[in-house]
Amino acid sequence: MRDRPSATAENIALVRAHLTRLGLLDDVYAARFLRLSRRAVYRLIARWQATGLGRRAVYGLLARTRFFDELVRCGIEEGIRQIVIVGAGYDARAWRLATPGVRFFEIDHPATQARKRALAPDGGPTFLAADLAVESIEDVLQRAGVSSADPAVVLCEGLTHYFDESGVRRLLGSIAHRRCVGTVLGVDFGVRLEDQQRLLRAVLGVQRAILALRGEPILFALNAGDVPVFLESLGWSGVEVVTGRQLHKRFLAGTPLSKASDALGAYFASAVIE
């Protein structure tokens, strides 16, 4: 991976800042992570009436944020006291969802995490810098003091795309390998271009080519139907896959994205260690 902070993580912060301005999200921290050029975009899109794919991208990210938020909230309600956010980028859950007695841990590539730490407000998570393409997540969790005797909610949001298949297997399999019963995983997977209709395939193809040029190529994607077998083969149980249509019903009712669609570019899943 490149040695500069992740541009995709910052783009996501930009959309979260925009959604917060629209009153649809409570991420008041997102805007502070934007450099000047993205701040300009943030100001420019204030009156933007997104249509078509732009709208799907923006509200898809809202659904994604709400999906992962719900996993954290439910985990905390059920008594889980460790939240591990892998590939955290400019995620602000450690501040937004802070709860007495609950510890948040963030793991990210050193270049992105150093920038975040420099700009982050006080408090927040325990930060762990690691290149997970090189270092095993088991070692990182141990180094962080994440107890393997107690369950955790582990989020891998917008992350698996950037590892090849063996890297994704190693990452998700190593978390399961700790055999910490009650641990909950939240993860999303990019869609395979060959499974998409022509227009979306073309748009996603262009988007992925741009990402590759920026040094963040998409290396892994999965068909939704293959997600349960994939996660079960790594030691996870109780796999629930949520497609775009279901996400829409659960998290986007009442938003301007009136038509449910699977064309959100990703599938979301949760799983547990039993």
Ligand X SMILES: C[S@@+](CC[C@H](N)C(=O)[O-])C[C@H]1O[C@@H](n2cnc3c(N)ncnc32)[C@H](O)[C@@H]1O
Minimum CB separation of residue 190 from ligand X in Å reads 10
Interface with ligand X, residue 244, by CB under 6 A: no
The Cα–Cα gap between 272 and 71 comes to 11
Interface with ligand X, residue 87, by CB under 6 A: yes
Interface with ligand X, residue 94, by CB under 6 A: no
Site mask for ligand X (CB under 6 A), range 171-200, x = bound = ------------------------------
User: Of the candidates 152, 30, 175, 157, which has an alpha carbon nearest to the alpha carbon of residue 102?
Assistant: 152
How many CA atoms lie within 13 Å of 267's alpha carbon, on the beta-carbon side?
A: 22
Interface with ligand X, residue 139, by CB under 6 A: no
Interface with ligand X, residue 112, by CB under 6 A: yes
Q: What are phi and psi for residue 125, nearest 5 degrees?
A: -85, 175
The Cα–Cα gap between 156 and 84 comes to 9
Interface with ligand X, residue 165, by CB under 6 A: no
Interface with ligand X, residue 264, by CB under 6 A: no
**Between 82 and 112, CB nearer to ligand X:** 112
Minimum CB separation of residue 232 from ligand X in Å reads 24
> Which residues pair with residue 184 across a beta bridge?
153, 272
Minimum CB separation of residue 25 from ligand X in Å reads 12
User: Of the candidates 145, 136, 130, 146, which has an alpha carbon nearest to the alpha carbon of residue 174?
Assistant: 136
**Between 132 and 180, CB nearer to ligand X:** 132
- Within 10 angstroms of residue 229's Cβ, the number of other Cβ atoms is 10
- Chain-centroid distance of CA 265 in Å reads 13
Tell which one of 22, 133, 210, 229 touches ligand X (CB under 6 A).
Answer: 133
Interface with ligand X, residue 240, by CB under 6 A: no
Q: Are 88 and 104 in contact (CB under 8 A)?
A: no
Which residues form the interface with ligand X (CB under 6 A)? 1, 6, 8-9, 12, 87-91, 108-109, 112, 131-133, 157-159, 162
